[in-house]
A and B are shown apart, each in its own frame.
Chain A
Amino acid sequence: MNWRTSIVVLGVVALMGFLVWGLVKKGESSLALGEPVPVATLQTLPEGGEGSLADYRGKWVLLNVWASWCGPCKAESPALDRFEKNNRDRITVLGIDTKDLSEDAMKFLHEFKIEYPQLRDASGDYTDAKLKTTGVPESFLVDPEGNLVAHFPGPFEDEAAIEDFAAPALKDRAAATGSQQPEDESE
């Protein structure tokens, strides 16, 4: 095999490698249940601080990805807020506002009187690349070790649907005795 043939063969092999890599990466369309949920430090909402899913290690977390321009997010918000108020001794609801204007996001929080903690992923890097969300809203149930227990793409119809989704946390007796605030807020 002369050097020209070698270059062509190498080029074809590299091209095939890229295609296979692309297909494999595309196949990883969502987080695997039981695997650790990726964490990242994000801005808080309202702005002025930083936070991460990692701050809630040791607690059950319902991670809800939303945006103010998203109609289904508005539809599920009252039920999610009621669920959080009724179960805050067992599970923390953590909102992540994504690809949104901060002013619009704040109006949304005021409109629906949402009190649970919020992070802001302005670029969508965390939600798209790490949580592998395909849209909004999407919810993730994360156990106290930081592993994914359940994933629900789309809006919850009502509070009962959220309770079904979060059943592993609500049935966990240990969760009821744990602290419900992030470590930095409990001091």
Chain B
Amino acid sequence: MTRFGILLLVVFALATPGLTQAASGSGQGADPQPRASLPEIEDEVMCPVCGTLLGLSHSPAAERERVFIRKLINQGKTKDEIEDALVAEYGGQVLAMPENRGIDVWAYAIPVIGLVLGLLGVAWAIIAWRRRRPDPADGPPAEAPSEDEADRVEKDMARFDL
């Protein structure tokens, strides 16, 4: 078999699973996203009047929001589509997590900037502390014990059989 033939076989072998998957996917109308669930969405959106996650609220407004979400789930909408519909109804504040665009980006950037500044501060403090700490080698030499002290040490060591 020529090199070209081997190359064709390899390409065909690699492409076949993808083609099979694509064919079965288009044939059965496969959904790239898993079906949305109410508990999952409740943890990602806010109650419009309570200032808490929807999952934590049972106010009349929250119950209406739940009914709306259930209706969209039953229509087969994905989580993203449902969240988009909620934003269209209540505005962007309905999302518990800020969007990663526009001024909302700062909600993600500020903690990172704070963390970096905090780490730099800690590193600076450690360096400053180490510089200030006296080196024992630079201190004055310890004085030798006097004769009395040396005698007492000898006696004590003899008493304890050391």
Give min CB distance, B60 to chain A, whole Å.
Answer: 4
* Residue interface mask A74-103, B partner, CB < 8 A = 1: 000000000000000000000000011110
How many Å lie between the Cα of A101 and that of B64 in the bound state? 8
Chain B count of residues within 8 A CB distance of the other chain: 15
How many Å lie between the Cα of A100 and that of B63 in the bound state? 11
Q: In the complex, which residue of chain B has the Cβ closest to the Cβ of A121? A: B91
The answer to whether A122 touches B60 (Cβ under 8 A) is no
Q: In the complex, which residue of chain B has the Cβ closest to the Cβ of A68? A: B64
Among A71, A102, A104, A122, chain B packs the most CB atoms within 10 A around the CB of A122
**A123 near B: Cβ within 8 Å?**
yes
Residues of B18-65 at the interface with A, using a CB-CB cut-off of 8 Å, are 48-49, 59-61, 63-65
How many Å lie between the Cα of A104 and that of B71 in the bound state? 13
How many Å lie between the Cα of A172 and that of B16 in the bound state? 83
Give min CB distance, B30 to chain A, whole Å.
Answer: 31
How many Å lie between the Cα of A101 and that of B63 in the bound state? 11
Q: In the complex, which residue of chain A has the Cβ closest to the Cβ of B92? A: A123
Contact partner, B91, options A69, A104, A125, Cβ 8 Å: A125
How many Å lie between the Cα of A69 and that of B59 in the bound state? 9
**B-chain residues with CB within 8 Å of residue A70 when the two chains form the complex:** 60
Residues of A117-138 at the interface with B, using a CB-CB cut-off of 8 Å, are 122-125
**A-chain residues with CB within 8 Å of residue B59 when the two chains form the complex:** 69
**B138 near A: Cβ within 8 Å?**
no
The answer to whether A122 touches B89 (Cβ under 8 A) is yes
The answer to whether B64 touches A69 (Cβ under 8 A) is yes
The answer to whether B60 touches A102 (Cβ under 8 A) is no
Contact partner, A99, options B63, B68, B90, B92, Cβ 8 Å: B90
Give min CB distance, B89 to chain A, whole Å.
Answer: 6
**A-chain residues with CB within 8 Å of residue B49 when the two chains form the complex:** 99, 124
Contact partner, B93, options A68, A69, A104, A123, Cβ 8 Å: A123
Known contacts A99-B48, A99-B49: does B90 contact A123 (CB below 8 Å)? Answer: yes
The answer to whether B61 touches A122 (Cβ under 8 A) is no
How many Å lie between the Cα of A68 and that of B64 in the bound state? 10
The answer to whether A67 touches B61 (Cβ under 8 A) is yes
**A-chain residues with CB within 8 Å of residue B68 when the two chains form the complex:** 101
Give min CB distance, A91 to chain B, whole Å.
Answer: 29
Contact partner, A124, options B48, B60, B64, Cβ 8 Å: B48
Give min CB distance, A120 to chain B, whole Å.
Answer: 10
**B-chain residues with CB within 8 Å of residue A69 when the two chains form the complex:** 59-61, 63-64
A-B contact pairs, 27 of them (CB 8 A): A67-B61, A69-B59, A69-B60, A69-B61, A69-B63, A69-B64, A70-B60, A99-B48, A99-B49, A99-B61, A99-B90, A100-B48, A100-B64, A101-B64, A101-B68, A101-B89, A102-B89, A104-B64, A122-B89, A122-B91, A123-B90, A123-B92, A123-B93, A124-B48, A124-B49, A124-B93, A125-B93
